[in-house]
Amino acid sequence: MMSKTTYHLRRPTMDDAQAVCDLVAACDTEDLGAPDIVLDDVLDMWSGFDLDKQVWVVEDPESKLTGYAFLEEDSEEKLFSYGCVMPAARGHGIGSMLVEALEAHAAELRRQSGVPKRLQSMIPTLCEDAVRLFESRGFAPVRYFKRMGIRLNAEPAPANLPDGFTVGPYVKGADERAVYEAYIESFADHWDFAEPSFEKWLEKTQLPTFNEQWWMIARDSDGSVAGFALARMRDDLLFVEKIGVRRPFRGRGLALALLQTVFEASYRAGQPLVSLGVDAANPSGAYRLYEKAGMKPENEISIYEKSLS
């Protein structure tokens, strides 16, 4: 009779970063069709985490990592989490072990603060075992996000900037406050937007992997920040984390021009792959904009949520 494999839940150390990256990449390949993580992503994220409180890994008897999860506080009442299980180890209760750890930590944060919490988790829409697990524990889907990408096989057409606007790189030491305020204004009406403090937002610019050339800022004739495209170059692609245009400057084609500027810069840098994520229900028409720019949907993730009150 075959003995049951025993899995062990523990906290990670920085020495686990590469193994976690490999684990998430294997899950991405299984569930989304291609890996969507590099080691710098893990290191950047963990630089802002308390590994003894916010992160868990699961290992098998041979000390091989088979599961991973983290939880972060987006706001006073919203908690965001992510977890994954090595495809070959699924069906052995590892996912349940991780979700129980996430819920227990969320409940403790709710108890300590006295504030009701919403615990969200991101899962691939087509990952049926994850869907069943979360729905069995009282989570329900609240939003869907599509990953879109483009391969620039030839030099892209020049950006068609509206009259009176220029686009240039972010200037570290000068643009922090203006770009932060433009970000808050641009995203204030987006679904479930949690406004970060200036100090928290600024942490992005202090990561070792930050490169200001990939933060492209649109300015009007007075030099005011009108919009932005905040991207990050990886070995495998250029990922556009945020595109935003302040309300007074919308409807003039500035968002499309920013995206075209990103394409030009990425192509010149020798990186033909550009990718981003978009809220499928965004009322601003962002999905249609990205389609117009030539980007195609690649996969979809779901945000599941459970209230802890």
CATH number at residue 278: 3.40.630.30
Q: Specify the DSSP class assigned to residue 5.
A: P
- 132 and 226 part of one domain: no
Range of the structural domain that residue 174 is part of: 149-300
How far is CA 139 from its chain centroid? 20
Q: Are residues 78 and 172 in the same domain?
A: no
Residue 169, domain member (yes or no): yes
Taking CA 56 as the corner, what is the angle to CA 55 and CA 61, rounded to the nearest 5 degrees?
155
For residue 180, being part of any structural domain is answered with: yes
2: in domain? no
- Count CA atoms within 13 Å of residue 209 on its CB side: 17
The list of the chain residues with pLDDT below 70 reads 1-4
Domain boundary among 138, 173, 197: 138
Quote the pLDDT of residue 280: 85
85, 108, 138 — which closes off a domain?
138
- Tell me the pLDDT tens digit for each residue of 113-150: 999 999 999 999 999 999 999 999 999 999 999 999 99
**The two structure tokens encoding residue 24:** 């998430």
Tell me the C-alpha distance between 35 and 220, whole Å: 38
Domain count within the chain: 2
Residues 284 and 153 in one domain: yes
In whole angstroms, give the CA distance from residue 272 to residue 97.
Answer: 40
Q: Quick one: 111 and 14 in the same domain? A: yes
What pLDDT score does 5 carry? 77
